[in-house]
Amino acid sequence: MRITFLGHAAFLLETAGKRTVTDPYSSEIGYRPVDERADIVTLSHHNPRWHSCLDDIEGEFEAIHGLEILESGATRGEISFGSVLVYERENEGENAMMWLESEGIRVLHTGDCGVLPDDATLRKCGRVDVLLALAGGAPTLALDDLMILVEKLAPKIVIPMHFGVPELQMTALGVEELEKRWDASHIVRGGSTLELFAHSLPQQSELRVLRPARLKN
């Protein structure tokens, strides 16, 4: 599986012969467009500026809405999708944390979650190998709550997203604020793409800081 961080909450996951884009944003937010060819686009909720802009996606793709598969899940070829209900604010702003499972790796995208989910909700997420984690603080999860989420889910790899960068039209913490809370010996910084294999995932949680591929500068 190859994971490329495009920017904000948008990733490209290449697995099982398909290209899946998560939560594509509008280029109005301060990143270059998400002009990737996709077979599948996953959407945590309806927010066409920040999380559900389909305008720039290329190809004949299928959109899978997290809020529509909460009970049923979805399977496309060798890829399984599922979701759990979470909230942006206390009991308001429904959105979904969505997972994709393929090649023996389960990836959980935290959507636009702003309230720490309860234990019953987290149990529904099942095993989490890779967590695409909200790292910008308010209006999404506070970093204290994010660290609790990481402790409870125990992912092998945490990839930060939704953090502050130059020109972003949102006030958000920089990724370095999350790095300060992490054991420095388990932080790996790299380019925009990470290639993963189920048999070689780390035994202890690593923070893998990827550079957004669609930065303007």
Note the pLDDT tens digit of each residue in 138-176.
999 999 999 999 999 999 999 999 999 999 999 999 999
**Could you tell me if 192 and 5 are in contact, meaning their C-beta atoms sit under 8 angstroms apart?**
yes
Domains of the chain: 2-209 (3.60.15.10)
pLDDT at residue 217 is higher than 90 = no
- The pLDDT tens digits of the residues spanning 29-54 come to 999 999 999 999 999 999 999 999 99
3-state secondary structure of 111: coil
pTM of the model as a whole: 0.97
Q: Which positions ≥6 away from 143 have C-beta within 8 Å?
A: 135, 137, 173, 177, 178, 181
